[in-house]
Amino acid sequence: MVSVPVVHHPACRLHDPGQGHPERPERVATVIAALQEPGPGVTVQWSEASLATREQVERVHPAGYLDTLERLVGAGGGALDADTVMSRDSWVAALAAAGVAIAAVERGIERGSAFGATRPPGHHALAARAMGFCLLNNVVVAARHAQRLGRPRVLIVDWDVHHGNGTQALVERDPSIRYVSMHQYPWYPGTGAAEERGVGNVFNVPRPPGLTRETYVRDLLAAVDAALAGWRPDLLLVSAGFDSLAGDPLGGFTLEPGDMAYWTTALRERVAPAPVVGMLEGGYRLDLLAAGARAHVRALAS
């Protein structure tokens, strides 16, 4: 029997963007329910995170931006853009998601792998701007925490169907972090062209919808291999967006849950002995989200 740490926080369910919004509380509840029974031969070691501190979040986001989010919640919530809304409990949910990301890194370093059930998602969040359902950039908060724990070189692989523009913007001038993203293009948010290279640490794989599964699987791993050429990470963080699965209402990729499992195994082999930590990003059809998360976590445990 093999096991994998999974980190959660109940406050991640409290963020409520409103009726009909695709980034609904049921998403994280579905993931947690799916991981209660990850499958034969695999057990989950559950742990509850603490809320991220202001100090931890301010490694990525300026204090003034965080103050703005707190004030909006104090006024009862409101819209930050056409897609991104804060409700009364969204600030505590955002700190919970960032705390889950931090704790997942700690557990991953201890055990070799881990998964964080982070919600709201984070990879569109810029330093001082919320967008694309995202308030705080969980994966970059996690990367900065890992560097303080003695893991200076961090590779982030993002397979969400949307480009992680926030993640790229936050790391593209920092050679200690490399970022690989495969995403539907052109598509929201309109960034992520192949020629966007940062300081040579950004590896974008823009692809149209409707290609074969094999094409997407191959092209992401080719970009990872390019990122790893002559460079070994001390930690791999996966922005695990399950909206790249075939049938998701917000994307047009053709991937299946088994492809996420294959990627996870292939990534672990490529970066070994570095730990691998997955974090939830997108995924908006609940049955697909459950299947994708289960496949990813099973591969983290194997």
Q: Which residues contact 113 (CB under 8 A, 6 or more apart)?
A: 4, 5, 268, 275, 276, 277, 300, 301
Distances (CA, A) of 54 to 3, 77, 274: 32, 20, 28
Three-state secondary structure call for residue 242: helix
Q: Give the residue carrying structure tokens 């059930």.
A: 117
Annotated catalytic residue 163: no
Closest-CA residue to 31 (of 15, 3, 56, 9) = 9
- Residue 22: count other Cβ atoms within 10 Å of its Cβ: 16
Beta strands in the chain (DSSP E): 2-8, 42-48, 78-79, 85-86, 113-116, 154-158, 177-184, 202-207, 235-240, 276-280
Pairing, β 85-86 against β 78-79:
antiparallel
Give me the sheet containing 113-116, strands edge to edge.
42-48, 2-8, 113-116, 276-280, 235-240, 154-158, 177-184, 202-207
Q: How far is CA 133 from the centre of its chain?
A: 13
Burial of 75 (0-12, 13-18, 19+ CB in 10 A): exposed
Phi and psi, residue 297, nearest 5°: -70, -35
Three-state secondary structure call for residue 2: strand
Query: In the numeric block, which tokens belong to residue 282?
Result: 């997108």
Kindly name the residue from 15, 124, 163, 296 that is annotated as catalytic: 124
Query: In the numeric block, which tokens belong to residue 53?
Result: 């501190």
Residues annotated as catalytic are 124
